[in-house]
Amino acid sequence: MNICAAAATGSSCTSTSSSILVFISSSLSNSTKTKFLPSVSRFSSKRICSFPQTHQRVAVCKPSMNLLNRLGFGSMRASENMDSTIPQGPDDDIPAPGQQFAQFGGGCFWGVELIFQRVPGVTKTEVGYSQGYLHNPTYEDICTGTTNHSEVVRVQYDPKECGYETLLDVFWDKHDPTTLNRQGNDVGTQYRSGIYYYTPEQEKAARESLERQQQKLNRKIVTELLPAKKFYRAEEYHQQYLEKGGRFGFKQSAAKGCNDPIRCYG
């Protein structure tokens, strides 16, 4: 099995690749991969996270779904049911009266959601999948790396209390927009940096904000700016994951204005 050590320095986990090879070799040599694979779901669904840690943790992690997919163990549904008609359409959900939506991708959505939960004027957050080609994807589907989905947080906010520019500032401040398809040790297309706008006004503000941010950095920003597409709400256990206690049962505050360090697994 794959063991990850969450260090206090922000690089949360390191993988023991040899354990993955043992897993694969054992499965292939004994011709039992169809029997053995369901046990993968017993492992944690998140491998790594780039948010700072305040305590050293040891977590059991499942093998990389991208690796399994390349070796023929991936989701058949993800490869057989691609259809861009619905998932590539606009997000047609409607926010509460007087509220607006914003959508961001900045790595593992657990930590990103908690960051936005703490912003005054944000009235609701949801984590989910967007920008992909598979209708009604599951977490296992997007982990294959074949569906093009991004882990996103959909933010509902009151524009009278929180401007869109404030959300953009939080977005830039809390992740690295210069690393392609990764945040820290979280690697894969689902962890890419993205701003997904709902209106021409949001698009204009996002582009201007990106230009200002680029002037501050000596590396190229790779954040994608695209229209918000259909939002697929993630499985319930992902919602407000860190506020509810995360992997270790240590609840983290989602109080407005809270500045406590975020422990990405709880």
Chosen domain end from 80, 109, 143: 80
Query: Would you say the C-alpha torsion 107, 153, 68, 72 has a positive or negative sign?
Result: negative
Two tokens at 168?
Answer: 């953009």
Q: Are residues 182 and 233 both part of a single domain? A: yes
Q: Assess whether 162 carries a catalytic annotation.
A: no
Nearest to 141 by CA among 241, 39, 125, 132: 132
My answer on whether 106 and 234 are in the same domain is: yes
Catalytic residue among 13, 49, 61, 108: 108
pLDDT attached to residue 85: 87
In this prediction, residue 12 carries a pLDDT of 40
Q: 144 CB contacts (<8 Å, ≥6 apart)?
A: 65, 66, 68, 69, 74, 75, 78, 79
Q: Please indicate, yes or no, whether residues 173 and 224 belong to a single structural domain of this protein.
A: yes
Residues 60 and 129 in one domain: no
Host domain of residue 168 = 100-238
Q: φ, ψ for residue 227 (rounded to 5)?
A: -60, 145
Residue 21 and residue 74 share a domain: yes
Token pair 């918000």: residue: 228
Give every residue of the chain whose pLDDT is below 50, as ranges. Answer: 1-73
Number of folded domains that form the chain: 2
Is 32 a domain residue? Answer: yes
Q: What is the CATH number of the domain that holds 175?
A: 3.30.1060.10
Please give the model's pTM, rounded to 2 decimal places.
0.72
Task: Return d(Cα 253, Cα 111) in angstroms, integer.
Answer: 12
Helix (H) or strand (E) holding 100: strand 100-106
* In a shared domain, residues 167 and 216: yes
